[in-house]
A and B are shown apart, each in its own frame.
Chain A
């Protein structure tokens, strides 16, 4: 029982971790809390669905196409809306992303309606492996776990060792200085949004294949992803992934031993409690603002 709860908690936590990663990428560079994250991913999943069922493409072509769409969408939203804001403050940026979220939601549910669709996926959720002691994990869970860990490592290496990654970190620390060093801040931001949308789209494909596809698909994962990122400290990639796993496991244990009914809200109770003790999350350094 305990082993199974922890295993499936880690599996569900992997999708939270992916959403948290997507969010942290944007937050790391531009300090924007992106509420449109989930719906950008949802729209990409719908594009994949359209390519698969309406145009009859294979999985590779359809997913590549949808990922390209996700990247373009993210970059476009940054270029067309976020960059145009004059003297943006935190609240203003949150409102803009909320507005984008509503627009994307409206477009998706206008185009595809609210009915639920089956999202075809090459990996099955029903093929299970026995890990010993009656603990099982499905193929899909393994893939999700693998994608989350691979993306985390790739992104970690990217931010640490590539020129663009370092430029992204510089942009977050001080935009003006970064610009003076010859970094094209606007372009970096666009790239960040594209990358984040890409990671989010991966999460949406994996989530849509366990669930059914509809415009509300990504609301809960997005909120859980936010919570995971907050738990991990918003700026730390490793923290975001660990936060996702912790959240998934805690949630599952709570559902298994205490109450299934309140399973979905325990995440928020956990983050409020943890934030009271560590206001910047578990894995980030707490910066005190100057006056």
Chain B
């Protein structure tokens, strides 16, 4: 069951027959999905997959390494703009521009990691917040990146195949998402991943046992920024258009919400958090059209509030979810999942 007897058992990807079965079922379902679902649902899942990539990256930083970042929208923007600029201005193909965009973002992550070596807690939160805001301000002033008007994404071309449908983008995004998730899961089980966790638990103690703080903290920022940059590069193509306003402070907060709601320090948690928050974002944006609840809220809006402000209810709901999760289940959805699993494993005792 849960008892690990040797090192190999701890690091392997799947540790039981049912897990292998469910993994194969999941991959089969994901492969069949674009043939069965409509365009809007595929678009939704594309967004979810991108947010999963970002949540994984942010979780590596916040959940595994214990460094707070409120500026990940900045890396998201850098990835998106870098990918588009490399394709448009240098004419690089997508499959080269995307990882390069990720590496440019990682470079900025390294730079942000340098002051982070000396800052902790609230100071780091403010510094990263400032970083996120500064990046979007600067992007808005750079004319070759479209300034405030934003950039139109070019046609997505892979080996002569022009991707122009949601299903096509799904075929590009989903394998990247799965690959990156697999990569992160493995990273956390290596020497590097253990060093991150050691830094989270106590950076001074980690330094005493020989973890090079300078190296590993900046590495955590760089890897996290890489993931977020890749997510941003893909986002540019799903949205078809990016502008500095796409990457506002709310985006950073939402990324953090995904990680916290899903569960800090767990890959599965990041996936669950990103999926749930993305779905809620899309549903709550048109809360007035929901069955039963919609008319009720519209009526309430007419009486007490304003009808034009009704979509803002989504902020109330998100805020409430974030607060309640921290108060009642600090481990997030992953905590719920673990408790449910343990409950049924020992049922009826």
Q: Which residues of A contact B (CB under 8 A)?
A: 27, 33, 81, 84-88, 90-92, 94-96, 98-107, 109-114, 219, 223, 226-227, 230, 234, 261-262, 264-265, 267-269, 271-272, 275-276, 279-281, 289, 291
Contact = CB atoms under 8 A, between A and B. Distances in A.
B305 interface: yes
30 contacts: A81-B323, A90-B122, A91-B260, A94-B125, A95-B326, A96-B322, A96-B327, A100-B323, A102-B253, A102-B322, A104-B319, A105-B315, A105-B319, A106-B316, A107-B316, A109-B315, A111-B304, A111-B305, A113-B306, A113-B308, A114-B309, A261-B141, A262-B137, A262-B138, A264-B137, A268-B131, A268-B134, A275-B119, A275-B123, A291-B202
Contacts, number: 153
Contact of A113 (B118, B264, B309): B309
B260 A85 contact: no
Nearest to A280: B123
Contact of B316 (A85, A102, A264, A291): A102
A94 B69 CA distance: 11
Given A98-B322, A261-B141, A112 B125 contact: no
B180 interface: no
B66 to A, nearest CB: 8
B130 interface: yes
Interface of B: 62, 68, 115, 118-119, 121-123, 125-127, 129-131, 133-134, 137-138, 141, 202, 204-205, 249, 253, 256-257, 260, 264, 301, 304-306, 308-310, 312-323, 326-327, 330
A279 B321 CA distance: 33
A112 B204 contact: no
A110 B310 contact: yes
Contacts of B304: 111
A109 B311 CA distance: 9
A95 B313 contact: no
B113 to A, nearest CB: 12
A272 B115 contact: yes
Nearest to B112: A272
A265 B316 contact: no
A83 B183 CA distance: 39
Contacts of B138: 262, 265
Contact of A265 (B119, B137, B310): B137
A63 B60 CA distance: 47
B68 to A, nearest CB: 6
Contacts of A291: 202, 204-205
A86 to B, nearest CB: 7
Nearest to A230: B126
A275 B125 contact: no
Contacts of A219: 249
